[in-house]
Amino acid sequence: DMLYRVTEPVLRPIRNRLPQMGGLDLSPIVLLLIIFFIERVIVLYLYPAVF
């Protein structure tokens, strides 16, 4: 129950935007891709500009 309450606020908007695919939930994969993209932007563009 605790894990559901922690992850649901982040995954719910992604689930609402993705089309229904039966029993397959791709929202965690989409969230990981978003996190990786943000990490790359920070490392490649923001970090060198600061230091």
Identify the domain containing residue 19 by its residue range: 2-50
Average pLDDT, integer, range 34-47? 95
Whether the predicted pLDDT of 9 surpasses 90: yes
On the question of pLDDT at 51 being above 90, the answer is no
Domain count for the chain? 1
Amino acid identity for residue 41 in this structure? V
Neighbours of 29 (CB within 10 A): 11
pTM, to two decimals: 0.82
Condensed to tens digits (0 to 9), the pLDDT of residues 12-39 reads 999 999 999 999 999 999 999 999 999 9
Query: How many whole angstroms separate alpha carbon 51 and alpha carbon 46?
Result: 9
